[in-house]
Amino acid sequence: MKLEKIRVCNLEEPMGFAMDAPVFSWTVEGAAGKQQRWASLTITAAGESVYESGETADADSLGWQVRLPLKARTRYDFTLTVCADDGGKACASGFFETGKRDEAWSAQWISPKIQKNSALLRKSFRAEESDRPARLYLCGLGLYEAYLNGEKIGDEYLAPGYHAYDFHLGVQTYDVSGLLHRGENQLVIALGEGWFKGRLGFDGGYTDLYGDRLYAIAELWQGNTLLTVTDESWEELRSPVTSANIYDGETWDARLSPELLGPAEAAAPTGCGPLQDRVNLPVKEMDRLPVRELIRTPGGDTILDFGQNLTGWVQFTARLPEGGRLSLTAGEILQDGEFYNENYRTAVSTFTYLSDGTQREVRPHFSFFGFRYMKLVCDCPVRAEDFSAVHLRSAMPQTARLETGSEPVNRLFQNALWGMKDNFLEVPTDCPQRDERLGWTGDAQAISETACQALYMPAFYRKYLWDLRAEQSVLGGSVPNVVPRIKRDMIGESGSCPWADAGVIIPWNTWRYYGNRALLQESYPGMKAWVDFQRKREEAIEGPHLVKDGFHFADWLALDNPQPGPFGATDPLFIASAYYCRCAQIVAESGRILGLPEAGEYEALSRDILAALREKYFDGSGLCRIPTQTAAALSIVFGLSPDAKAQGDALNRLVEANDSHLNTGFVGTPVLCPALSQTGHHDTAVSILLQEDFPSWLYSVKLGATTIWERWNSVLPDGHMNPEGMNSLNHYTYGSIAGWMISWLCGLRPMEPGYRRAILEPRPDRRLGHARAELETAAGRFVSAWRCEGDSIHYDFTVPFGASAELRLPGEAPWELSAGKHRFTGNCPQTGGRE
């Protein structure tokens, strides 16, 4: 028996992350017992005991919050012991460490005087010892990388990340013990523009959004000795990065020696929030891919194909003579065998390196790219094996694996996974390649349920929701369409359904999938504020509780509207009211979970909205009057239809009338297959999944997609990009089908938050032959698998320690499964039997 995934505030051994009280979570593997009898926790700081829980029966492995006054810059070591119901025990140790918390800074903000867009700041200092632990507390704006004695500090990139800088400035804490020398040391901070001051936003975008210069603040401590701080004694050096921003890439001229330009200036950013221990996950290298093919195009270009559309950059070994130049320009697809990236719009996306003749490893510093291909321009010969694609994302691990008997479906699952991985860099972005890469709330909420199954999301969402609530605080509770908000006119708007509903849906999905009460509590004020905002607005207009006005993206990019353009046919006010109802219901349920007296008020509001919705949008037989797949599916999944079964039959008819093809957009797509599976039409859901012609998921797979596209037909059957424009080949919303594969095809769903109790309701289908999902849930590792063999079907399940499941097999009464492995054999159902 052993303890795994031991986390403090959703992080493994966190150092310098914002926390009020530590919340411990863990899973148990390899136990002979089935349930936890008790757990105990001891915490020490500098060898002194600061907390002893004793053996506690109600220690919740999904989130055990410990009340303990935390000190700044302190390492806390803990030992967690878990005892099972059979007397078996497991024990593990770990640590968490605080950052500066509210300790005053001895350092001053400094800024380069001469260089505005990238700079190096340097300081030499002495250390009397090298073997005592040392920590660097640092924030650099826009982006920074820090080096101690020539070595890069830490394994994260693009720090301090992208957040609402006007509300808070995240401070990183680094363990620099191994890099410090006894005697003379040199600390260098390299700065670039990033999201803070570089170009951001489409149609040309804006610059200097949060500031018009670069800044840094740092303190380097060894034990209780302050070794160095940023102040006017720092020097400004010439930077080899001659230009860099998020969209356009970077130019690195290695011939420019870091010559001294003069002293740095004491200057602090204005209009920014206070320094605060970080909330964001670090961005790290999470994967690395070699060149799959070096292509020479008919037009004479050289292209590196990495075989996968991904987010990150290319690293290479430079072997160029002095003055040699090498540039790499990103693209997602070839057109007629030639390089193409017009879909990046104004984002230049080029990394250029100018050599000083030294052989070295080269990569960008202050930019990232969305790409499968890189057009290589170089005045000397190169070797493909010198290049690799580095996948960067916020460092959350993958938690889901799934395989079926269909190769194209397996590829689709992988594409959906990549779509999420590629768009979870600092904020949940719409896409990683063109001149947007923004935290669009609608895309983020649409994928959030699937994301909570596929990746370990709590820390990432905690940060996004932190920023979202900060933005709400100046919008009277409304939620912007993009978080962090782009401050000026263009996309400063808020309150569009179902973009703004992210403020309620994301924390709720996070609660359902991880059962982390502390996070729900932290998110609750923002959830409530959005519903209150909606209520105030709709009550200002006469009539029942419904959304009555406003601009709503609604079923964005659906295909059912005879009017050309990106808007779907489903009435946006119906969709907005449906979400209003669902959000009020969620606030009521959250209030109840948190023991708040106002829960009843929101319950009553949601009932009123539901009654008004039924009155206005449903007919006498309880069917939604709007004849679209999206309206019918939403009515089922949100529980709006008084007769879900009849509504399911109506949805099925709509799909059959459309030749078993979908025509849904951002709202309808995530709910379409769940609504069918839920109402006895799982067969039809599988039929939609298996379509290969437009519009369908496998259409893109058949055309060679390695990620999910923005439009159902971003690429036309002849391989050309859709001339309508707005074609990202890496948008994740339609990847929500991966969530349905886990929840319905394999039938694994949380019955209680965090999968402490799960539903196992696999839906075998001969067309797929077999399916197997394996999920590292908050409660532990679940497996749900089925395999059709002749007339038989074999099932395999794993339920983790501390959890239980309700098994629902076709034609059988529900059956209780406790922790452990379970195998069953049954008759292969005739449903789904169409070959």
Contacting residues toward ligand BGC, per CB under 6 A: 430-431, 436, 440, 442-443, 553, 556, 731
In the complex with ligand BGC, the residue whose CB is nearer, 269 or 568, is 568
Residue 687's nearest CA partner among 745, 632, 637, 739 is 745
d(CA 539, CA 419): 39
Q: What is the CA radius of gyration of the chain?
A: 27
* 3-state SS string for 532-561: HHHHHHHHCCCCCCCCCCCCCCCCCCCCCC
Q: How far is the CB of 16 from ligand BGC (least distance, A)?
A: 33
Q: How far is the CB of 157 from ligand BGC (least distance, A)?
A: 24
Which residue's structure tokens are 């003055």? 323
In the complex with ligand BGC, the residue whose CB is nearer, 60 or 430, is 430
Structure tokens at 681: 């039409």
Q: How far is the CB of 806 from ligand BGC (least distance, A)?
A: 37
**CB neighbours (10 Å) of residue 465?**
23
Q: How far is the CB of 472 from ligand BGC (least distance, A)?
A: 18
Q: Is 279 in contact with 252 (CB distance < 8 Å)? A: no
Q: Is 819 in contact with 790 (CB distance < 8 Å)? A: no
In the complex with ligand BGC, the residue whose CB is nearer, 446 or 672, is 446
Q: How far is the CB of 701 from ligand BGC (least distance, A)?
A: 21
d(CA 268, CA 246): 23
DSSP class of residue 744 equals: I
Look at phi and psi of residue 312 and say left if phi exceeds 0, alpha if psi is from -120 to 50, else beta.
left
**CB neighbours (10 Å) of residue 14?**
24
Q: How far is the CB of 649 from ligand BGC (least distance, A)?
A: 32
Q: How far is the CB of 568 from ligand BGC (least distance, A)?
A: 12
In the complex with ligand BGC, the residue whose CB is nearer, 306 or 709, is 709
Q: How far is the CB of 503 from ligand BGC (least distance, A)?
A: 15
In the complex with ligand BGC, the residue whose CB is nearer, 239 or 429, is 429
In the complex with ligand BGC, the residue whose CB is nearer, 634 or 748, is 634
**DSSP string computed for 2-35:** EEEEEEETTBSS-BSB--SS-EEEEEEES-SSSS
Q: How far is residue 5 from each of residues 13, 26, 111, measured CA to CA in Å?
A: 10, 5, 41
Structure tokens at 509: 């999905």
Structure tokens at 578: 């449906």
In the complex with ligand BGC, the residue whose CB is nearer, 222 or 714, is 714
Q: How far is the CB of 738 from ligand BGC (least distance, A)?
A: 18
In the complex with ligand BGC, the residue whose CB is nearer, 710 or 761, is 710
Q: How far is the CB of 435 from ligand BGC (least distance, A)?
A: 10
In the complex with ligand BGC, the residue whose CB is nearer, 617 or 709, is 709
Q: How far is the CB of 731 from ligand BGC (least distance, A)?
A: 6
In the complex with ligand BGC, the residue whose CB is nearer, 143 or 491, is 491
Of all residues in this chain, which one has the CB nearest to ligand BGC in the complex?
A: 430
Residues contacting residue 698 through CB under 8 Å, at least 6 positions apart: 408, 409, 412, 689, 690, 691, 692
In the complex with ligand BGC, the residue whose CB is nearer, 372 or 434, is 434
In the complex with ligand BGC, the residue whose CB is nearer, 11 or 483, is 483
Q: How far is the CB of 551 from ligand BGC (least distance, A)?
A: 10
Q: How far is CA 139 from the centre of its chain?
A: 23
* 3-state SS string for 383-408: CHHHEEEEEEEECCCECEEEEECCHH
What's phi and psi for 464, nearest 5 deg?
Answer: -60, -40
Q: Is 294 in contact with 304 (CB distance < 8 Å)? A: yes
Structure tokens at 4: 């795994």
Q: Is 771 in contact with 741 (CB distance < 8 Å)? A: yes
Residues contacting residue 613 through CB under 8 Å, at least 6 positions apart: 546, 574, 577, 578, 581, 640
Which residue's structure tokens are 């406790």? 818
Q: How far is the CB of 207 from ligand BGC (least distance, A)?
A: 20
Q: How far is the CB of 571 from ligand BGC (least distance, A)?
A: 18
d(CA 315, CA 317): 7
In the complex with ligand BGC, the residue whose CB is nearer, 236 or 436, is 436
Q: Is 737 in contact with 406 (CB distance < 8 Å)? A: no
Look at phi and psi of residue 423 and say left if phi exceeds 0, alpha if psi is from -120 to 50, else beta.
alpha
Q: Is 642 in contact with 614 (CB distance < 8 Å)? A: yes
In the complex with ligand BGC, the residue whose CB is nearer, 249 or 665, is 665
In the complex with ligand BGC, the residue whose CB is nearer, 552 or 781, is 552
Q: How far is the CB of 38 from ligand BGC (least distance, A)?
A: 48
Q: How far is the CB of 475 from ligand BGC (least distance, A)?
A: 18
d(CA 725, CA 705): 18
Structure tokens at 216: 């840094």
Q: Provide long-range contacts, Cβ within 8 A and 24+ apart, for 614-622.
A: 614/640, 614/642, 615/544, 616/544, 616/546, 617/571, 617/574, 617/577, 618/642, 621/646, 622/646, 622/647
In the complex with ligand BGC, the residue whose CB is nearer, 472 or 496, is 496
d(CA 186, CA 174): 16
d(CA 238, CA 786): 62
